A and B are shown apart, each in its own frame.
Chain A
Amino acid sequence: MTILETSAGPAPRSQVNRERIAALAQSYGAAVILVILLVAGSIAFPTFLSVSNFANIATQSSFLLIIAIGMTFVILTGGIDLSVGSMYALGGVLAAYGSHWGVFGAFALPLAVAAVIGAIQGALVAYAKMAAFIVTLAGLLGVRGLVYAITNGGSTTPLIQDPVTAAIGQGGLVGLRWPVFIALAALVIGSVLLSRSRGGQAVLAVGGSENAAALMGLPVARVHFSVYVLSALCAGLSGALTAAYSSSGVPNVGVGLELSAISAVVIGGTLLTGGRGNLVGTLAGVLLLTVIQNLINQVGSLSSSVQAVVSGAFLAIVVIVQTVLARTQRL
């Protein structure tokens, strides 16, 4: 379609402007809507605009943000990782078991296992050339099975044994808990990696055009491999932090979390086809989802099904707008 419609010669100015506005809306639309929601929420609900409520939103967002950062890298390469919800549960359970050996065990055990599982998925996608959707779908089932296998079918909820680990989850600074700072650090590191490092540029190049990236001599397979390891590590870390925060590794948490993470990334303006997107958008996407949830809670009597309807409809509207915007830019 694009080939037929592309005309030779300089584009008229109005079209250039339209393209620029579309590109801006694609990248910063989520942030603008977030600000509007925050203002509207503050006016509508007196309990919304409070330090403790904002600290709450920050804590709730931090766990999802860490997962969404990994997911952003995967989606930027044109892939998808459906296994993060199960990986998150495994991270929490392993952190609780690992906390027998102190804070080191509480984080080293889940991260090591996550790295191995991420490496298996990455190898199957990158080197065996299997569809990411199917590989990580198997991961979703298999890892959840693993969680239930090590917790007596989900009936055991291991507790965090180590006070230092619990302090990392529950303690904090200036009213914000440590997971918030850890998530922000991950965001900064991720952003620097993506925009300033060779590896990050390779991720964008592979997602933009795999052929072009291969012809430029980029290690395409290694890039694919790495993002799945990174995503599994992020999900495992988030699970471990959640366990530290709640003092226990709950086996059945994180069901459907992959969908929230994908929604956040997509709402943040990252294209599912890969090659375009940024982590600031992902942050806005995560905050948007959490703020919507918080606002629905403010109303009080509304149930979680209303929340599902609102988030689903919101996601639909966002992707429709984005698809239209992306088309405007391509014309």
Chain B
Amino acid sequence: MTQATVTIKLPRRGSALGFLQKYGVYVALLLVLLFNLVFTPNFFELDNFRTQFVQVVPVLVVALGMALVIGTEGIDLSVGAVMALAAAIVPLYIGYGAIPAILIAIAGGLVVGLINGSMVAFIGVQPIVATLSLMVAGRGIALLIANEQLRPVSDLFVLALGRGSLFEDQPWRIPYAVIIAVVLVVVVALLVNRTTFGKQLLAIGGNRRAAQLAGLPVKRILLSVYVISAALAAIAGIIGTARLGASVPSTIGNLIELSAITAVVVGGTPLTGGQVKIAGTVAGALLLQFITATLVKHDVPDAYSQIVQAAIILAAVYIQRGRIFKR
């Protein structure tokens, strides 16, 4: 669409721009950490980092799915609604035990993913409207299920997912939520980089027609990507509920689609598809988390931290425009 009008300046290999395009998010992450090392007292402490890592988990888990969707040149706006749906389902079935409740909550997310994916893959609806309709309807359904009420969750197993740690009582204890997130990061990274599914996904995002003509199962892969995104969002909703100790479908995951998209894009995954950067996505999510934490610790009002976030998105995308490196 843009060949005729866009003149792309090709960054030379080894040029400053090329370096920033590839490693900008890591440089930014390093700079934020250095700033805090110098200016923020008590930032470099185990407890603080543990808090930061636990707080980033929902955004990170959602961003992993978002990265896959964006890799196919799609977008998933319904992730916040899926989190709300999962949060609403957990207390309903907690009577049957924690594991069944969690599985049913994830299944609820899968249904949303199937609807999203079917609309995109089989009918050809644009991802942005398909997932927009479920973003609106999904949260409504979540609120109806929960009777528009906040419900406390007291099941110890569920609570442990958000608050418990491995090696409890030790200074190096590792929160279960962080362990789950790390496992999911590894699984998704392997999925993208080491499996046929990952290669096909990238091929579809790079050039759908070519992928179709090459006989790739385009529809099935598109469907799978939205289902995976919804499943991850449901897991994020369960972890978020566990951390709060309450199911709050009215607010959980509000605007998380924006944070997740930001993390993915800042991490170097282009919105035009064909590339997925999992390590970059992790770095992007951490960058956003550390920036927010930095602003909070320096008593910057929320309003300004939103403006800073907006500026970061623009700067990241500005640097990445016209990027030509493939993988």
Contact = CB atoms under 8 A, between A and B. Distances in A.
Interface of A: 1, 78, 80, 124, 128-131, 133-135, 137-142, 144-149, 153-154, 209-211, 214-215, 220-221, 259, 262-263, 266, 272-273, 303-313, 315-316, 319-320, 323-324, 327
B69 to A, nearest CB: 13
Contact of A148 (B134, B209, B303): B303
Given A153-B302, A308-B143, A134 B317 contact: yes
B140 interface: yes
23 contacts: A1-B212, A130-B314, A130-B317, A131-B317, A134-B261, A134-B265, A134-B317, A138-B310, A138-B313, A138-B314, A141-B258, A145-B305, A145-B309, A146-B307, A148-B303, A153-B303, A306-B140, A312-B137, A316-B115, A316-B137, A319-B125, A323-B123, A323-B124
A141 B124 CA distance: 30
Interface string B309-320: 111011001100
Interface residues of B, number: 53
Nearest to B322: A129
A215 B132 contact: no
B317 A315 contact: no
A323 B125 contact: yes
Contacts of A131: 271-272, 317
Interface SS, A side: helix
Contacts of A210: 1-2, 4-5
B167 interface: no
A327 B322 CA distance: 32
A74 to B, nearest CB: 13
A240 B313 CA distance: 28
B189 interface: no
A330 B121 CA distance: 18
Given A138-B310, A210-B4, A316-B137, A272 B126 contact: yes
B6 interface: yes
B129 A272 contact: yes
A130 B126 contact: no
Nearest to A258: B132
